[in-house]
Amino acid sequence: MTKAHIWLRAESKPLEERIALTPDVARKLLEAGFKITVEESPLSAIPAQEYQGIGCDIVPAHSWQQAPQDTIILGLKELSEDNWPLVHRHIHFAHVYKEQQGWQDVLRRFKTGKGELYDLEYLVDNNNRRVAAFGYWAGFAGAAVALKAFGKRQQLDSTAQTDQPVLDKLASMPSKQALVDDVAESLSPLARPPKVLVIGAKGRSGRGAVEMAKSVGAEVTQWDMAETQVGGPFEDILDFDVLVNCVFVQEALPPFITLPMLETNGIEPRRLAIICDVSCDPYGTYNPLPIYASCTTFDKPCLRIIEGAIPST
């Protein structure tokens, strides 16, 4: 007897190569009596043929809208921005419960269609701990991009090429070690290792960021609840080269840093050069880094927030 029908949809977000269900786990679900349908996707890191080989049904991308109403639609990131009602049960990161941009429209679609949302960010066990989180690798990759950007910016500043983009388009890497080697190469011309501050260092993403920074020889300082409980802003942040914010925010907090703090006074150069916001909630009211109003992309991974000199290496 089939327990339930799980439909693994193709992601709509550009360059999203991750996938919410691996063939190994899909095989276990099939053996347990689930029916699994997998959409073809030109973006997915795992080709549909690997699922077909173990007994999953393969269908065209974005065809889940025609799935039977009792089907569970599984994905990772947000759905495309349409307005038709959602009638299925959905499992993914919806990015709505912190009142992010467009949250009302998304929830209205569920209400109108009488569908249900099981948001991966808020699924917890009996101990109230999250059961589905990609935080470690988010922190690891975020810190990698930040450190690569720091190395590139130092080189551009030293040659007065301040009009050049700090980083070109990002691409996936074949392995963890390949990413570490790539970042280490970017930092190799520098005269000193960068000073990195990771806020939320004891969480999943924080641990990933710390490991990445240490793996390339950065000087890492770790802040968590004990260091931030007094409330910001924190002037000490300006003493670091790179800030990586990995705090899982569930309520409004005093800002960690503000735009006026980043302004140079014309006498002392600002040391802080790169800010990586792994938590990334610029459109919500809970954002502890209210210094930017739009997100970066894989095509344009760096956003200049404010002008100002930094020490040469």
82-119: per-residue pLDDT in tens? 999 999 999 999 989 888 888 999 999 999 999 999 99
Determine phi and psi for 116, rounding to 5 degrees.
-130, 145
- Three-state DSSP class for residue 272: coil
Query: Do the Cβ atoms of 3 and 30 come closer than 8 Å?
Result: no
What does the alpha-carbon distance between residue 38 and residue 61 come to, in Å, rounded to a whole number? 9
Query: Do the Cβ atoms of 182 and 215 come closer than 8 Å?
Result: no
Give the pLDDT confidence score for residue 311 in this predicted structure. 37
Average pLDDT over residues 73-80: 94
More confident residue, 13 or 187: 187
55 sits in the region (left: phi over 0; alpha: psi -120 to 50; else beta) called left
Give the pLDDT confidence score for residue 265 in this predicted structure. 52
Tell me the pLDDT tens digit for each residue of 28-68: 999 999 999 999 998 899 999 999 999 999 999 999 999 99
Q: Copy the structure tokens of residue 55.
A: 């007994």
Q: Please state, in angstroms and as integers, the Cα–Cα distance from residue 159 to each residue in 152, 155, 204, 309, 312, following that order.
A: 11, 6, 38, 13, 10
> How many CB atoms are closer than 10 A to CB 219?
14
Give the pLDDT confidence score for residue 249 in this predicted structure. 78
Give the pLDDT confidence score for residue 183 in this predicted structure. 97
Q: Copy the structure tokens of residue 211.
A: 């490991």
Query: Do the Cβ atoms of 140 and 211 come closer than 8 Å?
Result: yes
Is 88 part of the annotated catalytic residue set?
Answer: no
- Residue-wise burial string across 255-289, b where 16 or more C-beta atoms lie within 10 A, e elsewhere: bbbeeebbeeeeeeebebbbbbbbbbbbbbeebbb
pLDDT at position 204 over 80: yes
Please give the share of the chain, as a percent, with pLDDT higher than 70.
93
Look at the block and give the residue holding tokens 């992309």: 297
What does the alpha-carbon distance between residue 216 and residue 194 come to, in Å, rounded to a whole number? 10
Query: Do the Cβ atoms of 74 and 92 come closer than 8 Å?
Result: yes
* Residue in 97, 140, 175 with CA at minimum distance from that of residue 276: 140
More confident residue, 175 or 14: 175
The pTM assigned to this predicted structure is 0.76
* Residue in 106, 99, 105, 74 with CA at minimum distance from that of residue 88: 74
Tell me the pLDDT tens digit for each residue of 162-203: 667 889 999 888 899 999 999 999 999 999 999 999 999 999
- Residue-wise burial string across 117-152, b where 16 or more C-beta atoms lie within 10 A, e elsewhere: beebbeeeeeeeeeeebbbbebbbbbbbbbbbbbbb
Give the pLDDT confidence score for residue 1 in this predicted structure. 56
pLDDT at position 160 over 70: no
What own/partner pairs with CB < 8 Å and gap ≥ 24 does 264-269 have?
Answer: 264/308, 264/309, 269/308, 269/309, 269/310, 269/311
What does the alpha-carbon distance between residue 169 and residue 148 come to, in Å, rounded to a whole number? 12
Amino acid at residue number 64: W
- Three-state DSSP class for residue 39: strand
What does the alpha-carbon distance between residue 240 and residue 233 come to, in Å, rounded to a whole number? 15
Give the pLDDT confidence score for residue 309 in this predicted structure. 43
Query: For residue 297, what pLDDT band results from cuts at 50, 70 and 90?
Result: confident
- From 95, 98, 148, 152, the catalytic residue: 95
Give the pLDDT confidence score for residue 310 in this predicted structure. 42
By mean pLDDT, which of 154-158, 237-241, 243-247 is the weakest?
154-158
Kindly report the average pLDDT of the chain as a whole number.
90
Is 77 part of the annotated catalytic residue set?
Answer: yes
pLDDT at position 148 over 70: yes
- From 5, 35, 62, 77, the catalytic residue: 77
pLDDT at position 269 over 50: yes
